[in-house]
Structure formats: structure tokens, C-alpha cells
């Protein structure tokens, strides 16, 4: 699932896609390799496992 179009706002949040290779612009690749998404993965993982307290645990 390659990102083929983006705007300045997307680049401000996710980095400059114009300097990335096609492989790096793959959304799955970005999810697992981008330092920008590391905190997001940790937060989502904890929420999914109920470790954040959001599920009353």
C-alpha cells in the first residue's frame, strides 16, 4: 500500500515524502520502521491489550 499523493500538512506530521524511496513510502513499511510512529504503536498496543486502564483493568 504505497502512498502516491500527499500535501504539506501530511509531510509536517510524517516527514518529507519527496526524499523517500518508493519502498519507504509504503504505509506498512512506515508503520514498523518510522520513529514517528513508535510511540503510536506502543500506545495502541497497550490499549489493545488493556494495559492503559482504558478498559477498566
Cβ atoms of 43 and 50 closer than 8 Å:
no
- DSSP string for 19-43: GS-TTTTBHHHHHHH-GGGHHHHHH
* pLDDT value, residue 21: 86
Q: What is the pLDDT confidence band of residue 7, given thresholds at 50, 70 and 90?
A: very high
- The rounded distance, in Å, linking the Cα atoms of 55 and 2 is 34
Q: pTM for the whole thing? A: 0.47
Domain spans of the chain, in order of start: 8-49
Q: What is the pLDDT confidence band of residue 13, given thresholds at 50, 70 and 90?
A: confident
Highest-scoring range by mean pLDDT, 2-6, 10-14, 42-46, 51-55: 2-6
Amino acid at each position: 500500500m504505497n502512498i502516491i499523493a500527499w500535501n504539506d500538512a501530511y509531510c509536517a506530521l510524517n516527514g518529507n515524502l519527496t526524499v523517500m524511496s518508493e519502498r519507504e513510502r509504503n504505509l506498512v513499511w512506515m508503520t514498523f520502521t518510522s520513529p514517528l510512529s513508535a510511540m503510536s504503536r506502543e500506545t495502541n498496543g497497550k490499549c489493545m491489550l488493556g494495559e492503559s486502564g482504558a478498559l477498566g483493568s
